[in-house]
Amino acid sequence: MLIPKKVKYRKTHRGDQIRGFACRRNTVSFGSFGLKSLEAGWITSRQIEAARRAITGNLQRKGKLWIRIFPDKSVTVKGNEIRMGGGKGAVDHYVVPIRPGTVMFEVDGVTREQAAAAVRLA
């Protein structure tokens, strides 16, 4: 799973809403084919790892894969049945907030059909 080695602040704010379309990471830069998001949301490091395994398993060591997103936002969780107060909970996992139009994965070195099948699994 992807987690940052070092962050300036361990616990981050949640943030309100993810508004607008992607201004950065919105074009295929490295590969020939890409997986682009259609909706805004949070992608967890576990989801990125599952998609990576699905793509590499389908490509069978052919071609190259680029992961264009990195989870650097921490999500905290307080335990169940804890009373209010007592500060913010412990860091549970990391996410990356994405906007519509963000290219998340890129593939190169395979045919269009192979890339489409691999990206569809992801």
Distance between CA atoms of residues 23 and 94, nearest Å: 22
What percentage of the chain has pLDDT greater than the value 90? 94
Task: List, for residues 34-71, the tens digit of each pLDDT value.
Answer: 999 999 999 999 999 999 999 999 998 899 999 999 99
For residue 120, what pLDDT is reported?
92
Task: List, for residues 11-32, the tens digit of each pLDDT value.
Answer: 999 988 999 999 999 999 999 9
Q: Which segments of 20-119 are extended strands (E)?
A: 33-36, 41-44, 64-67, 73-77, 90-98, 103-108
Please tell me the pTM assigned to this model: 0.92
